[in-house]
Amino acid sequence: MNKTIGIITGSLRKNSFSGSIADYITSHAPSGYVFKIVDISNLPLYSQDHDDIEIKEYTSFRNEIKALDGVLFITPEHNRSIPAALKNALDIGSRPYGQSVWNAKPGAVISQSPGNIGGFGANHHLRQILAFLNVLTLAQPEAYIGAYHTLIDEKGALSDEETKKFIDSFLADFVTWVEKIS
């Protein structure tokens, strides 16, 4: 029986660097695992006023997360933090109070950036939020991928062999983590 890991990318941009990494991962999943992209682009902004109202996008998203065996977050850095769309998805999944779909899910974080520090600020801000949401986040190895624009081909696909090896190794460690938590 395959385990299903959701990939949530922080970037909504077409041909984003986060999406490029997600595409690589979905086509190179470790044996026994399926990695699938969870779309957060259609989620309305979270408001507590909606906690008692049926919002179909909220319900669909929450149900999709509940069904997952784990979550991999791939994010760029926006102003030394995570993108607003990613924070919105985290908030929607954590509400209404006491009904968080994130609770006790195994998770991991990959950050990327065209800059040299690979989204370090976003990575750690996201980890802080995930700790509060009780997402059991893989601590080591950490994954910061800098200068990402130099690691892709003209179509935006990951082409750097060393980065592919790093991601494959990271996924192997994440799968081990998911097995321990499960």
For residue 42, name the pLDDT band (cuts at 50, 70, 90): very high
The answer to whether residue 46 scores a pLDDT higher than 90 is: yes
CATH architecture of the domain 3-181 equals 3-Layer(aba) Sandwich (3.40)
Phi, psi (degrees; rounded to nearest 5) at 122: -65, -40
Percentage of residues of the chain with pLDDT beyond 90: 95
Instruction: Report whether pLDDT(22) > 90.
Output: yes
- 109 near 62, Cβ under 8 Å? no
Categorize the per-residue pLDDT at 55 as very low, low, confident or very high, splitting at 50, 70 and 90: very high
pTM above 0.95, yes or no: yes
Q: 17-49 burial by CB neighbour count: b if 16+ within 10 A, else e?
A: bbbbbbbbbeeebbeebebebbebeebeebeee
Q: 């385990």: which residue's tokens?
A: 3
